Structures are given as structure tokens and as C-alpha cells.
Amino acid sequence: MKLKNCDIYLGEILELLTEVLAEIKENKDDGIYKDLFSALSREMLNFWEIREKIYQVEPQIKRDFLLEMEEDKERFDELNRELQQALSLYREGDFPRAKEAFNQVLSKAQSGYFANICKAKIYDCDKQINKSFKQATDKYSLNVEFLDNLHQRAVKLKQDGMNKEAEDLFLELATLSRFSYFEIISKANLFDLNQQ
């Protein structure tokens, strides 16, 4: 397995751990929740340590958000707070307000990690508002290498000016992927294509 693929899997694990920790955070001082919160927090740190070792071996695969954080921690923290507020609105199902909040973050971020997440979520909000977004039923049967190849083909089509073909492929990738990395990147590209 390639280190890039390992990094994608670790990113997914960390994202899921973050969601679980957010769910149990308000009960973190009660019995089993306290033990669970403590154990998962330790595991999260372990996964980050592994990820850092991967980046020492292959620094070119380091994720955009880590590079942005290293570049300007204060700005990163500010954008992250605003992004978390927008994500909270999204999780509550308030898609119009969430879309507005994502647009505000996008106007400040303009590129990189925050911009890609905002573009993906704005795309999702539009689809939720219009009730036309459908998930593929076989979404969990695909592997990282297949999805990465599909993504690279879509990017090449976009670069070659074949926007309709690129849009179709990004849409397929966004609905097929169980990996949020590919889903977010695809939706960010769909956002860009829809703005043209």
C-alpha cells in the first residue's frame, strides 16, 4: 500500500474519531463516557504521530490544512472556528444559513483546505435545498486507488477544458466515494465548474 493511501485512510479515521468525540464531549465526565473520551483522545494522538512519521518520509503528501496551519496558526484557528459554526448549522439541517456561513468562510479562505470544504458544503447545501442530491447505494465498495485514478482523470479533463465531461466524472466520484477526501475535492471542483 502506498503511503499516500495510508494517509487518506488515517485522515478518515481521524475524521471519524473527531465526530465520535464531538458526540460524547458533553458527557465526557460520566462513567463510561469518561473512559471512552480518554481512550479515543489518546488514540487520536497516536494516529497523528503516525501521520507525522509518514510526512517525514513523504512530505509532498502533507495535507493542505496542515500546511495552512503551519503557515499562519492564528488565521487557521479563526477560519476553523467559523467553519465549525457553519458545519454545526449544516448538521442541524439549516441549509440556507449553513450555505451563507460557508460562503463567508470561503470569502476569507479563497483557496486550500477551508475553501475546498466550503465549496463542497455549499454544493451539498444547494443540493439539499433543491432536494435533488442522491447518494449511490454501492458507495462503500470502492477502494482508494480506484478513486484516486478517477479523480486524476477528472482533473485532467478539467485542465483540458472538457468541463462537461469533468463535471460528470467529479459528480460520479462525489457520489461513489466513502472517503471524504475525494468527496470534498470532487465537490470543490464541481463548485468551480458551476461558477464558470
CB 9 within 8 A of CB 180: no
CB neighbours of 25 closer than 8 A, spacing ≥ 6? 37
CB 13 within 8 A of CB 179: no
Mean pLDDT on 40-63: 90
CB 24 within 8 A of CB 17: no
pLDDT value, residue 57: 93
This prediction has a pTM of 0.57
- Per-residue pLDDT of 99-135, as tens digits, reads 999 999 999 986 677 888 899 899 888 888 775 334 4
Mean pLDDT on 3-19: 86
CA 182 – CA 3 distance, rounded (Å): 16
Mean pLDDT on 53-69: 84
- Per-residue pLDDT of 123-178, as tens digits, reads 888 888 775 334 433 444 456 777 777 788 888 888 898 888 888 888 877 776 65
* Residue 138, number of CB atoms within 10 A of its CB: 10
